């Protein structure tokens, strides 16, 4: 009578475990590649969950070096019901400071597309957002100009203004389907 019938499966299990560990290392290395974006997303998710205290916070992320310092800022379009209304949703601009994040700007009443414009003010690219709803009909593209500290909080009133002939450098968050 064999009291250890499963001992024969140990070499196979060992090979499977070794294969899994090797794949995990390759996956982790892939996460570190690509400018650290996946690792950055994890860090941002933790920051936003602590900031909002909501484990089910929904958002769309985009990355772009808005101030030409060689590091991406993070554009966060919040899509959770709590952060949206008939006029649109909130958009955050985050900048990484060491191992945490700082909110540079919070703009209300925004809708995609969200674009980086070629124009620069106080060292930062201007942004554009779509504004419509909440009484604003027809919609229009609003330019958000950096004032040295932040972008305008409300894209429907000055200092935000309608985009006129402005050239887009890059679309960060495309128009909603």
pLDDT (tens digit, 9 = 90+) per residue, 53-110?
Answer: 877 889 999 999 999 999 999 999 999 999 999 999 999 999 998 888 999 999 999 9
Which residues are 63's β-sheet partners?
74
Q: Residue 162: which pLDDT band, with cuts at 50, 70 and 90?
A: very high
pLDDT in tens, 139-149: 999 999 999 99
Domain membership of residue 12 (yes or no) is: no
**Among the listed residues 84, 124, 123, the one whose alpha carbon sits nearest the alpha carbon of residue 107:** 84
> Burial, 155: exposed, middle or buried (Cβ in 10 Å; 0-12, 13-18, 19+)?
buried
Domain membership of residue 157 (yes or no) is: yes
Tally of structural domains, the chain: 1
Domain membership of residue 2 (yes or no) is: no
pLDDT of residue 70: 95
Higher pLDDT, 7 or 139: 139
What does the pLDDT average to over 137-165? 94
**Joined tokens for residue 164:** 């006129």
pLDDT of residue 14: 42
Domain membership of residue 38 (yes or no) is: yes
List the domain range (segments joined by +) for residue 44: 34-173
Dump strand ranges (E) for 98-135: 100-121, 124-133
- Mean pLDDT for the chain overall: 82
For residues 125 and 118, what is the distance between their CA atoms, to the nearest angstrom? 6
For residues 51 and 2, what is the distance between their CA atoms, to the nearest angstrom? 59
Domain membership of residue 27 (yes or no) is: no
Domain membership of residue 48 (yes or no) is: yes
**Joined tokens for residue 62:** 């985009």
């Amino acid at each position: 009578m064999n009291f250890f019938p499963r001992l024969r499966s140990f070499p196979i299990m060992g090979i499977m475990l070794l294969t899994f560990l090797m794949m995990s290392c390759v996956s982790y290395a892939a996460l570190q590649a690509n400018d650290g974006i996946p690792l950055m997303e994890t860090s941002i998710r933790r920051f936003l969950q602590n900031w909002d205290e909501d484990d089910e916070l929904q958002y769309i992320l985009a990355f772009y070096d808005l101030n030409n310092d060689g590091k991406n800022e993070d554009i966060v379009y919040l899509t959770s019901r709590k952060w949206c209304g008939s006029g649109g949703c909130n958009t955050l601009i985050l900048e990484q400071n060491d191992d945490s994040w700082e909110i540079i700007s919070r703009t209300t009443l925004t809708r995609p597309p969200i674009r980086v414009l070629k124009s620069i003010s106080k060292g930062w690219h201007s942004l554009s957002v779509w504004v419509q709803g909440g009484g604003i009909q027809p919609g229009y593209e609003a330019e958000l100009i950096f004032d040295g500290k932040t972008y305008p909080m409300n894209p429907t009133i000055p200092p935000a203004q309608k985009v006129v002939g402005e050239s887009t450098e890059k679309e960060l968050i495309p128009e909603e389907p």
